[in-house]
Structure 1
Amino acid sequence: MAQPVLRQAERKARGVADEIRIDPVSGKGDLDAFIELTYRLNADDPNWVPPLRADVRELLTPGKNPFHEHAKVQLFLARRGGEVVGRISAHYDELALEQPPEQGMGPGTGNWGMFEAADEAVAAALIARAEEWLREQGMTRVLAPISLSVWEEPGLLVQGFDHPPMLLMGHNKAEYQGWVEHQGYAKAKSLYTYELNTLPDGFPDLIDRIVALGERSSRIVVREVDLSRFDEEAAICIDILNQAWSKNWGFVPFTETEKAYGAKKLKPLILKGANMIAYVDGEPAAFMLAWPDMNKKLIKYGGKLFPFNWAKLLWWLRNPKQADFRVPLMGVLPKYQNSRMASQLAFMMIEYIRRYAVGSHGAQRGEMGWILEDNQGMVAIAEAIDATINREYRIYEKAL
């Protein structure tokens, strides 16, 4: 009789070891584990770009990232047999709750993000715990993944796994799509990035004619940003952005603290000739930003700047060579949207940026996005310059 009893005890011990525990992150050790997990789970993916650990820690730290001033965030770790095997953030943004429901956010809408899981069982347990926490906070609906804000890394990558993402775009395991959908999530919106892989060749002749026509117009002036007045220039761009995107799906306005924080964080990426402000009748009407793709460097750094990578990165940012560029943000004032003026300004700015990126930095590729799948104006602009979709990110929704 001793042998069956022993086998029963062994099975019970293995069952305890295999049990998945989901615990709130508490203290520095848990936060370290939360940050480190992504490097371990994605180490075998040649197209995954390790984020800088310092940046991830700052993103998650109240008092450093102003998102936390108007949001409540709870981080969770999954453990099995004492090993960390998954992570997730559950959070809601008070500013998002104030937005009109027809624009995607609105009352009762919470989020989860920062999602990593070793297998589907872990994924299911993490998502269930995030949903439970959101219900406890009074949320009735989830939009996910969003990590942490719609202005940071929204959406789950579902197309474009065969190449690294450009700067400030996410990358995840292909299996995650099925794991999320198996938990009852349906697509709310797709976000696209568009690739321009022949920058040196220029755009179609029609675009050249539109640009030339704009240059002859006495109403239009397009100029480079003035880095000697960086704060003022940043304020102009963010003011246009808040107005231009105010009716967009998923929009959440920037606070004054976030404007200053974002401008400071992004300043090292701002190259004069790659960022444009357009004026119509003497008033700021549109802007377009393009940043060198720092991910081409970061993919080699393993998420660490010290002891020597910080110097290499700073040196490269001073005058990046053979650098590809991403256009992450563009905005046109609402009164010009859905008009010829909007597309004319866009074509002029992107052509000037193309000339600069190719002529000064040897750019071969460019990327625009993300762009909402139903943003007809931006989709039309991307198609007119022969850009093609190279990555799709999907935001899911579920009623709680």
Structure 2
Amino acid sequence: MAPSEVIITPVSGKADRKAFIDLAYRLNASEPCWVPPLRMDAEELITPGKNPFFGHADVQLFLARRAGAVVGRISAHIDHLAIAMDASQGMGPGTGNWGMLEAEDEPVAQALIGRAEDWLRTKGMTRVLAPLSMSIWEEPGQLIKGFDQAPTVMMGHQPERYRHYIEALGYQTAKTLNTYDLDILNEFPPLIQRIIQSGEKNAKIRIRNVDKSKFDAEAALILDILNDAWSDNWGFVPFSDAEIKYAGKKFKPIVREDLIMIAEYEGEPVAFMMTLPDLNEVIKPMGGKLFPFNWAKLLLWLRKPKVHTMRVPLMGVRKRLQSSRMASQLAFMMIEYIRRNAIREYDAKRGEIGWILEDNQGMNAIAEAINSTVNKSYVIYDKPL
């Protein structure tokens, strides 16, 4: 065996899982914009029984070694909820995925991607969409713009070289996902302010905070709107019941009632907007570790978060309203109310909206109308197997 040969093996056992996790911290240690996830979260992501994604997906993790040293990693997975979707929505029958790529160099990356592709073929897959780490609802895509900015909560950050490694293997762009940067200290343009004021005069419209004392009911309501609003979108995959419960438990500590709005029209909830304080700001200096002292810092922050940035990861309007003026009016009203609260209560200075599909004309138009600009772009690639 040549010393430079790359050996790929399936992850097996606790030591391999630890090596899989540790590698990301080592390879990204000198990357100033990378945010080390809490190790407990990194472990949870790849552990069956902890991450409900495993309940509807086949997953295989791989490690690359050279001369006995771990030099790369990748996940390969088949999401059975995704392959049950119509092919016109991006996923569909025969579509597998890989993600969580970390590699010391291009030969390692090529070997890992090749092994993930081989595994998908053995499972009957004929096409791959990647990278996804691991669900499309987690960290989708390879960063291609915005390398000089740290990611916000629930967004990824990959070295630019990975893009070249992937494209050299024949992968083509399937979709580009954009995030928008918004200076929330500036008021919106006069036209948008008039639209908001008009909505405030409309007795049929009510914009309200979520009620955290009714957390489960409010979460179910938001999910109902989300499923209706997003069901025809490219890449949409429904949440399982286990994922709904998991997400509720995971994000409840950073949910703030005045940062999540529900819009009602004639008494019916028809739209929502979810905004989260950027948790990455507080965990970035922790290096992935909560102990011995970081847990106390995190608990103190959670009591009253003060952040520079807010992220809007999700919003939705019921399909029957999506082509109407009412849809944009409700969106502008929710954004404005959250903007005011973010400044007043959390000292926020900017917002990040997205991700938004590059061809989602309605959402892109709303983002541009409030003078936000694209600050990051991620690509999901496509390749026949």
Given the two structures, how large is their TM-score scaled by the length of structure 2? 0.99
Out of 312-321 and 329-338, give the one that drifted further. Answer: 312-321
Out of 104-113 and 297-306, give the one that drifted further. Answer: 297-306
State the match for 2:73 in structure 1. 87
Q: What is the identity, as a one-letter code, of the residue corresponding to 2:358?
A: E
1:172 paired to 2:158:
yes
1:387 paired to 2:372:
yes
Deviation string, structure 1 residues 6-49 (Cα, Å, up to 9, x no partner): xxxxxxxxx62111000000000000000010000000011100
Q: Per the alignment, in what secondary structure is the counterpart of residue 46 of structure 1?
A: coil
Deviation string, structure 1 residues 68-100 (Cα, Å, up to 9, x no partner): 111000000000001100000000000101101
1:280 paired to 2:268:
no
Out of 138-147 and 264-273, give the one that drifted further. Answer: 264-273
Paired residues of 2:277 and 2:307 also in contact (CA < 8 A): no
Counterparts of 2:347 and 2:358 in 1: how far apart (Å)? 30
State the match for 1:56 in structure 2. 42
Counterparts of 1:255 and 1:176 in 2: how far apart (Å)? 31
1:138 paired to 2:138:
no
Q: Per the alignment, in what secondary structure is the counterpart of residue 201 of structure 1?
A: coil
Counterparts of 1:338 and 1:356 in 2: how far apart (Å)? 28
State the match for 1:6 in structure 2. none
Counterparts of 2:10 and 2:184 in 1: how far apart (Å)? 47
Percent identity over the alignment? 62
Q: What is the identity, as a one-letter code, of the residue corresponding to 2:378?
A: Y
Counterparts of residues 146-295 of structure 1 (less than 5 Å): 146-196=132-182, 198-295=183-280
Counterparts of 1:384 and 1:369 in 2: how far apart (Å)? 15
Q: Per the alignment, in what secondary structure is the counterpart of residue 169 of structure 2?
A: coil
* Matching residue within 73, 87, 90 for 1:101: 87
Q: Per the alignment, in what secondary structure is the counterpart of residue 18 of structure 1?
A: coil
Counterparts of 1:330 and 1:184 in 2: how far apart (Å)? 34
Deviation string, structure 1 residues 118-153 (Cα, Å, up to 9, x no partner): 000000000000000000000000000000000000
Q: What is the identity, as a one-letter code, of the residue corresponding to 1:158?
A: I
What's the CA shift for 1:168? 0.7
Counterparts of 1:258 and 1:224 in 2: how far apart (Å)? 24
1:348 paired to 2:330:
no
Paired residues of 2:61 and 2:74 also in contact (CA < 8 A): yes
Q: Per the alignment, in what secondary structure is the counterpart of residue 360 of structure 1?
A: helix
What's the CA shift for 1:257? 1.4
State the match for 1:20 in structure 2. 6
Q: Per the alignment, in what secondary structure is the counterpart of residue 170 of structure 2?
A: coil
* Matching residue within 104, 119, 126 for 2:105: 119
Counterparts of 2:330 and 2:120 in 1: how far apart (Å)? 43
What's the CA shift for 1:322? 3.9
Runs ≥4 residues deviating over 3 A: none
1:375 paired to 2:360:
yes
1:32 paired to 2:28:
no
Pairs aligned (count): 385
Q: Per the alignment, in what secondary structure is the counterpart of residue 194 of structure 2?
A: helix
Out of 315-324 and 274-283, give the one that drifted further. Answer: 315-324
Larger radius of gyration: 1
1:303 paired to 2:288:
yes
State the match for 1:3 in structure 2. none
Q: What is the identity, as a one-letter code, of the residue corresponding to 1:69?
A: G
Unaligned runs of 5+ in 1: 1-14
Counterparts of 2:126 and 2:65 in 1: how far apart (Å)? 27
Unaligned runs of 5+ in 2: none
Q: Per the alignment, in what secondary structure is the counterpart of residue 208 of structure 2?
A: strand
What's the CA shift for 1:360? 1.0
What's the CA shift for 1:200? 1.4
Out of 291-300 and 128-137, give the one that drifted further. Answer: 291-300
Deviation string, structure 1 residues 348-380 (Cα, Å, up to 9, x no partner): 000000000001111111100000000000000
What's the CA shift for 1:323? 3.6
* Matching residue within 324, 330, 347 for 1:362: 347
Counterparts of 1:23 and 1:46 in 2: how far apart (Å)? 30
Deviation string, structure 1 residues 299-352 (Cα, Å, up to 9, x no partner): 100011112111111211211124420000001100110110110110000000
1:76 paired to 2:76:
no
Counterparts of 1:109 and 1:209 in 2: how far apart (Å)? 46
